[in-house]
Structure 1
Amino acid sequence: MIGEWIAALFAAFVVDPVEADIRQRLEAMQAPVQVVAQVGTCLRTTGPMLVDRASGDLWWAATTAMSVATGLTSPAELLDADNPACAPIAGYLISAEADA
């Protein structure tokens, strides 16, 4: 019961804002349209994994939510770089952050 509640909060306060933030960053960096278009696909596959982890590990959920909210953790760090739908996005964001 509590795990489901935490998972719902995590999805609302981390996964959804991360999607919006990633889209905004990619558009600001003038990323190729193909990369921006993959954000939804990436988070449809990675989002449920993050929510499952949050419901099973409350400490991780709380610290991750705080880290993302305060900017200590980049949204790109939450993406699964091994996921074919996320790899181009993560690579683009990480290389752009390294250049900045």
Structure 2
Amino acid sequence: LGVPVARMRRTTFLVAAFSTAILVSVAGVIGFVGLMIPHLSRPLAGPLHLRLITSCALFGAVLLLASDLLARTLLPPQELPIGIITSSLGAFFVVTMVVRNRL
């Protein structure tokens, strides 16, 4: 149809990345778990959405509990904000996805 596919792909990726960044900044970094967990639990759940919803709920709860436990025990006299742990995991996840899919 005459659309430059490579440019359109880059533009779509940038729009999606910036809209995700804006939504995470509004909702908080814990909300980033909701963007990351479905990608991580899809290989375990398979193609059925009922299994995916269940595994996302369980895996998300486990991830937040583990992040909270790590945030409370990493520096014993004080607590780290849980957002630091989840944003570190989220940043690692985004970099991994970008490197894996290379645009």
User: TM-score, structure 2 length as denominator?
Assistant: 0.33
Q: Which of 1 and 2 has higher RCO (CA within 8 Å, sep 6+)?
A: 1
User: TM-score, structure 1 length as denominator?
Assistant: 0.34
**Which has more radius of gyration?**
2
